[in-house]
Structure 1
């Protein structure tokens, strides 16, 4: 499980980056329209979607591991719905602008506008440097890759404004627009998957199954649902019908504890289903006197058919003592 203090730090980082990007994107859009700078306008579209994502991540990270009696599904769905509407808006702006630009004169604008682009690239570079401290978190790892691409495109865009060559400007506009559209469509798809409860194919499923089975648990299936940028797990465990409610309760706690060690897992539901009892072949001629009632014999028989939670008390201790590696 991610340390709460680290989550708070990361939440503040995303919020700060979103607050810095929003006004800069507005300024880029304003001067882009005023000086008819196609590169600046397209870059501002990119800034808007980055800022929206950063602020949403900040809000979610701020509450993700807070204890609550009820899981806040609405909050995670809010991220998906917000991304959905922002994605539609950004795609519309990008396609509309490309269409307009191809039918009108395209300009890079005055040379000094490159300063705005380079300020944006410096902010991206600063965020990248800070995020490297949290690169072990999957969400940050993805954002680091995105930030590196942002920095490269912004440096290239600044060169395009300075050179102010028609073909170079066209190339930059198409390149940035393609990147924005690709990133937006990806987020749109993930938002749809999140809202419909799509069974998400993640490496977590196989790794978690191996870990649970190593503790002697009979894992029937694991379903993974993407909720926003995070995961909700539904684990089905098979147990013998004789298992007591107390043992089932302990088992659920163990499974949840293991599952939540995976990065990005915010909700775990465990369902226990009874296993079918094995049929034992019997004969009509049973010699009662040969049936052992000795305790040692009984222990030997029980050891041949161990239940998945036979050592459930020790299992809890083993989890605490064993360093789990993913």
Structure 2
């Protein structure tokens, strides 16, 4: 029995046991850095910046390339532009600018974001403060701001609406809930096509008007597509103005034809609501940011077999011109 136990003993247990807490943290960071490098080809922010921002443009005058000007203590390259006097780093102008934590910690946060883990759990599992976790979530929001603007649904396109309670006091939060689609509920216009390209846009309060549907979805549906919907009258503006083929079904949960025809968008609505329910206490002003992040991560996970999810998100954070100010 003793021999079997010795045979399976971890040869590094003694080494780790002799380390101080500070040394153990350094060892953990080195292990995570090595593991990340093996997985995606870079282990530090400096290495990722060299890969995705090898010659950044000047944030002051927009010119490039700049001259090399040494390195930050973290290894991130510094740059300067003699013509305008600007000095900056490879992370300037990105949402990762000013981050002091190792990239491996950011990657852990990204992995948790992919599963919509609540903020307190993210802070605990990444060993960061709640304020830092809040800030990192808003850095992600900044990186995906406007992300949906360029998404156009084509071919067969399903649209519907889903509703969530508005927690803003000015919209009746805390008062008796009205029945039906009242102004106390936020409307989210949802669309998806046969390629499983999703769109989710805040569409005001209560039952949507034609004008609100036009603003929310008009630019997201390609001309000549087939619109599959539930006979909501506000959808007619899309059919008319985008020259769409109209395929509609009466909304009746007892009708198998309706359930089958609308299953794709109904499932998407359901998943969006489950996603939003995870963020108790969410500021309603940030609802569109949460939806932008959901759509972005939906597409990241959908393409995970072709492109490692972590590498894709880190690349997006580094190559998107976006900043965060606390």
Question: Shared fold by TM > 0.5?
Answer: no
User: Higher strand fraction: Structure 1 or Structure 2?
Assistant: 2
User: Higher helix fraction: Structure 1 or Structure 2?
Assistant: 1
Pick the structure with greater CA Rg. Answer: 1
TM-score (norm. length: structure 2): 0.23
